[in-house]
Amino acid sequence: MKIISDIQELRDHLRGQNRASFVPTMGNLHEGHLSLMRLARQHGDPVVASIFVNRLQFGPNEDFDSYPRTMQADIDKLEKEGVYILFAPTERDLYPQPQEYRVDPPQQLGDILEGEFRPGFFKGVCTVVLKLFSCVQPKVAVFGKKDYQQLMIIRQMAKQFALPVEIIPGETIRAEDGLALSSRNGYLSTEERQEAPELQKILQEVRQRVIELKERNIKTLADIEQKAVAQLTGRGWQPDYIAIRQQSNLAPSTKESLEADEPLVILTAAKLGKTRLIDNLEI
Ligand code: PAF
């Protein structure tokens, strides 16, 4: 595997390749990331991965400094997966000047759910992803469904800017007890790690309640959300949200969308101790 930090060198290496498949990451790779590398291999060749902890998407009180950086272990894993190039720019390589041009997703998608609790997060994500796309110029790029809202926002960005890249979703990979794999799981204490799968269990209960609802309307869905929030709070979590939304646009259901039986998804973010976990479940 070739490890490259310089944008020009990356372009030189990829010249003439028009089927490259790309997986952007922030490193600290786990089985979830590796499953995305395998999916990327099915959709293009060569596979290019990136590791870059993107300062622009972290809020002032978030974990940018402490975000786990495990470069050598990540390199070993990517080599085993047959990744052709690892693009691992420094901040100076990717942002040689302050990044003043930014991509601001529309409020109705970028400022809800994660965007409400992490202001500026999706602006930082879209800006770096657009820049990484410009560096790698992939034919396809793979993003995990665990970051459901991120996947949707990047898909829309690619569509609205007519970027010549197809966005492929990768399924969430879970531990045996149901906890979605995440680089931030490493922050959990032993007791918190035992409690953490409850997040997915509660989403499954919410799904069951929605499926069994006699009358699905805005009020009955809100009642289910509130009950689930109370359940998590009662177990010692600090939930930011548990929201039952339309799969197509992440907006709350309307009378019309319920009548049309639009598919739903449940999304959640909640803190367990100091660790903020997110998860989702399609209905
Ligand atoms: O999902 C992530 O790891 C990051 O948000 C991404 C897409 C690599 C952008 O920094």
**140/47 Cα distance (integer angstroms):** 10
Low-confidence residues in the chain, pLDDT < 50: none
For the question of whether the overall pTM of this predicted structure is more than 0.85, the answer is yes
Would you say the CB of residue 125 lies under 6 angstroms from ligand 1? yes
Would you say the CB of residue 23 lies under 6 angstroms from ligand 1? no
**Closest ligand 1 atom to Cα of 154:** 7
pLDDT for 280 equals 98
Going along the chain, which residue ranges are E strands? 2-4, 21-25, 47-51, 85-87, 140-144, 166-170, 238-246, 264-272, 275-282
pLDDT for 18 equals 95
Would you say the CB of residue 147 lies under 6 angstroms from ligand 1? yes
pLDDT for 244 equals 98
Tokens of 91: 């901040």
Write the pLDDT tens digit of every residue in 5-19. Answer: 999 999 999 999 999
Task: Spot the catalytic one: 13, 30, 33, 43.
Answer: 33
Would you say the CB of residue 172 lies under 6 angstroms from ligand 1? no
Cis omega before residue 46 (within 30°)?
A: yes
- Ligand 1 center to residue 23 CA distance, Å? 9
Tokens of 99: 């990044």
Helix axes 71-80, 31-43, angle to 10 degrees: 40
pLDDT for 59 equals 96
30 is catalytic: no
pLDDT for 7 equals 98
pLDDT for 189 equals 98
Strands 85-87 and 140-144 come out as unpaired
Would you say the CB of residue 49 lies under 6 angstroms from ligand 1? no
Which of 48, 54, 94 for mutating ligand 1's site (highest number of atoms within 8 Å of CB)? 54
Task: Count CB atoms within 10 A of the CB of residue 197.
Answer: 17
